[in-house]
Amino acid sequence: MDKSQKRISIEDVAQRAKVSITTVSRVINNVPTVSSKNRARVEEAIAFLKFKPNVSAQRLATGVNNSIGLVMPGYPGIFHSFYAIELIRGVGHACETLHLDLVFHITNGFNPLNTSNVGGVIFADIIENRKQVESALAAGTPCMVINNKVDDLDADYIAIDNKLGGKVAADYLISLGHKEIAIISGNLNTQAGLFRFEGFKKELENRKISLPAEYVFEGDYSRRCARQAAEKFFELKNRPTAIFACSDEMALEVINVAMEKGVKIPQELSIVGFDDSPACLYSSVGLTTIKQPLFEMAEQAVRLLNQIVNGKHTDKVKEMLAPKLVVRESCASPKG
């Protein structure tokens, strides 16, 4: 590449004007503390080199980058996922309100992450991308993790209390009189899946209700696995009278299988989901579910991260948001 094709940088301008990069940045940002002599030299260099400042250069003067990164683990159907859409919507709304730029990155967990072009990063959960979080922290980038309680990393976090969510689901079904309660868990390699299962199981133990192995199906939040689980449960001699499915998608598929087999909801089977997606309202039976405040979590994460980036919040953020039971028509007391 010859010199005429070389991309002109802020360093080139500083070198020609014989001033520091900070002085060039201050001229670009119209900071009044620059002397008239230095300002003229910088302006001459900019004109001579035909330099076009980028966003990052314009923000060097204050030391604050007005961009927020959102890193989300990729998975099939991500843009059809209520969970992902709510997080993106919450982050986007907060960025719009605070006049922040949003850099969105879907990760496979293994590629290195460049955080030099953002002021801070929000990691939507940590699924096989822990090294990316560690690298960002090591680089001094302010990081906020959402939907994952991370006490073993020096990162701020806002998470859903998934153990409480599992407990609330179990408690509600027990309060209706159910004792044969099955569960279709989420992926137990994820914190949300594991904690919901642990909260549910612990509440059953506390209430002296057994959870036999045949009443446990490890799922992955998909309708496919929910169908497999429902068919398995319906074939049992001692069929469960209630099922806690750890996502609404799975709960709605259980309802579909039940209808196909002539099992009446909620007269013969009670079902509780988790999420409170809009689909709960439009199924053949209104789904009772555990609502998790995804939008609020994402929006709050941006606001707090922005304060951290700007030095207005120095205390560590370790916040747990409580999910809430939403009662509809999919649950009733067991027969007999």
DSSP assignment of 2-37: -GGGSPP-HHHHHHHHTS-HHHHHHHHTT-TTS-HH
Q: Is the pLDDT of residue 304 over 70?
A: yes
| Total-model pTM | 0.78
Do 277 and 248 form a contact (C-beta atoms < 8 A)? yes
Nearest residue to 227 via CA among 186, 185, 256 = 256
Q: Is the pLDDT of residue 63 over 80?
A: no
Running DSSP on this structure, what letter comes out for residue 272? E
| Domains of the chain, earliest start first | 6-58 (1.10.260.40), 67-161+294-322 (3.40.50.2300), 162-292 (3.40.50.2300)
Q: Using the CB atoms, write b or e for 215-252: b if 16+ within 10 Å.
A: bebbbbbbbebbbbbbeebbeeeeebbbbbbbbbbbbb
What's residue 32's pLDDT? 78
Amino acid identity for residue 63 in this structure:
G
What's residue 64's pLDDT? 57
Residue that has been written with the tokens 């843009």 in this structure: 79
Do 298 and 201 form a contact (C-beta atoms < 8 A)? no
pLDDT tier for residue 144 given thresholds of 50, 70 and 90 = very high
pLDDT tier for residue 55 given thresholds of 50, 70 and 90 = very low
Phi, psi of 259 (to 5 degrees): -65, -40
Average pLDDT over residues 42-63: 71
Q: Report strand pairing: 101-107 vs 67-73.
A: parallel
Do 272 and 288 form a contact (C-beta atoms < 8 A)? yes
Q: Is the pLDDT of residue 54 over 90?
A: no
Residue that has been written with the tokens 């002109």 in this structure: 8
Terminal CA-CA length for the chain: 83
Average pLDDT over residues 165-193: 96
The first and second tokens of residue 29, run together, are 């940002």
Q: Is the pLDDT of residue 310 over 70?
A: yes
Amino acid identity for residue 234 in this structure:
F
pLDDT tier for residue 102 given thresholds of 50, 70 and 90 = very high
Phi, psi of 265 (to 5 degrees): -110, 125
At residue 76, the 3 state secondary structure works out as coil
Query: How far apart are the C-alpha atoms of 226 and 246, rounded to whole Å?
Result: 10
Q: Is the pLDDT of residue 265 over 90?
A: yes
Residue that has been written with the tokens 């969510």 in this structure: 165
Average pLDDT over residues 80-98: 93
Running DSSP on this structure, what letter comes out for residue 131? H
Query: How far apart are the C-alpha atoms of 122 and 141, rounded to whole Å?
Result: 10
